[in-house]
Amino acid sequence: MRPKTRITIEDLYEVKGKAELVKGKMLLMSPTGRRPARASGKIYRRLAEHEERVGGGYAFPDNVGFAVNLPHRESFSPDAAWYVGPDTEMEFCEGAPVFAAEVRSKHDYGPAAEQAMREKRTDYFACGTLVVWDVDLLSPNVITCYKASDPDHPVIFRRGELA
């Protein structure tokens, strides 16, 4: 029997925990700490409240898979998201969310992490995401809001400001 050489979306269903499919490899993501988990939970809660009040899409918490079709990326798993695509029942969402929040964890700092986050934002925008939040709880600039329409000029929200 020949060993499997390419990881697929179907393989992600077997992962215990959070993972994304990038450059043909499974990118495992470690559990996060208390503060990042609470931050992503609060973002999700606000999105869920918006869903109940207004509708027009679906709020998703951490660890939901979004299947996409880029040459080097086949999935996203943001910390919180707003999605307007079809109901895929028990499968991953088809396509990228229109809004994605990426909350930095303990190891999401330094030049390599910054480069990875830049590349991921570029991938989000290439798949149709309109807004990506980079949530940094260690910085006075807590939310850096990147928009697909002007990704090089993010809007900064500091602690205490309404995003």
Q: What integer pLDDT is reported at residue 25 of this predicted model?
A: 77
Question: What average pLDDT does the segment 116-132 reach?
Answer: 98
Model confidence band, residue 4 (pLDDT cutoffs 50, 70, 90): low
Residue 70 lies in a domain: yes
Tokens representing 72 are 């080097």
Instruction: Answer yes or no: is pLDDT of 95 > 60.
Output: yes
Residue 8 lies in a domain: no
What is the total count of domains within the chain?
A: 1
Task: Name every residue whose Cβ is closer than 8 Å to that of residue 88 and which is 6 or more positions away in sequence.
Answer: 94
Mean pLDDT in the chain?
91
Q: What integer pLDDT is reported at residue 18 of this predicted model?
A: 80
Query: How is residue 157 annotated by DSSP?
Result: E
Q: Percent of the chain beyond pLDDT 90?
A: 76
CATH code of residue 121: 3.90.1570.10
Q: What integer pLDDT is reported at residue 41 of this predicted model?
A: 97
Residue 15 lies in a domain: no
For 53, the domain range is 32-157
Q: What is the pLDDT of residues 44-55, one digit of tens each?
A: 999 999 999 999
How much is the pTM?
Answer: 0.87
Q: Residue by residue, what is the 3-state secondary structure of 24-66?
A: CEEEEECCCCHHHHHHHHHHHHHHHHHHHHCCCCEEECCCCCE
Q: Percent of the chain beyond pLDDT 70?
A: 97
Residue 60 lies in a domain: yes
Residue 20 lies in a domain: no
